[in-house]
Amino acid sequence: MNRIDKPDVLQVAQAAEDRPTEAEAEAAVRTLLRWAGDDPNREGLRDTPGRVARAYRDWFRGYDDDPKGMLQRTFEEVEGYDEMVTLKGIRFESYCEHHLAPIIGVAHVGYIPTDRVVGISKLARLVDAFAKRLQVQEKMTVQIASTLEEVLRPRGVAVVLEGEHHCMSTRGVHKPGVTMVTSTMLGLFRKDPRTRKEFMDIIGNPSSRGL
């Protein structure tokens, strides 16, 4: 079952079709610079709108990625391996959809294969495909886990994200160093406490790490 919200996928596709031109994006940046109280025509800011537009292309390149397509190439010659596969400490950079502030963190992804595995670099690319979008951490956690489950059909999937939200550390309550931890457990990871504990033991105690 695909747990990614279908209307959300359609909204992303529609937004890509309605994407403004680069010139329109640069004009919007100039407006924001004026709103901040500065002069976008002064020497130091003259090229800033173009730089910001190009930066946005990099920061939000996930909208042009196909997460499911990344997992299509799999390997079946694994000599019957059917134990847990875990990739931990995948650094990600995302942006809060509420304030456009950075979310910096690490992802831990595990699954128990049936008859095929995927290259480990694809797991990291999958995390980035969703991170490089405007995000809510809870949603991103589910998106990664649901895509793995839908494409690989493993016996279980586990995803844990740890993120520091700069919308909380650099504005608002100004509380730096606070880490938000979210998790999604599917299949054996949800049903079997021993399997879930093994995964959590492998990735370690999230609260003991600083980001």
Which residues are known binding-site members for Zn(2+)? 96, 99, 167
Catalytic residue among 22, 97, 150, 198: 97
Inter-residue contact 156 to 17 (CB < 8 Å): no
Catalytic residue among 143, 162, 164, 165: 165
| Residue 166 is a catalytic residue | no
Catalytic residue among 93, 150, 167, 198: 167
Inter-residue contact 62 to 132 (CB < 8 Å): yes
Angle at 157 between CA 123 and CA 77, to 5 degrees: 65
Catalytic residue among 26, 96, 143, 149: 96
Give the annotated binding-site residues.
96, 99, 167
| Residue 99 is a catalytic residue | yes
> Which residues fall within 8 angstroms of residue 165, CB to CB, at 6 or more apart?
96, 101, 103, 137, 178, 180
| Residue 162 is a catalytic residue | no
Catalytic residue among 22, 93, 99, 150: 99
What's the rounded Cα separation, in Å, for the pair 62 and 121?
16
Angle at 44 between CA 96 and CA 40, to 5 degrees: 65
Catalytic residue among 137, 149, 162, 164: 137
What residues are annotated to the active site?
96-99, 137, 165, 167
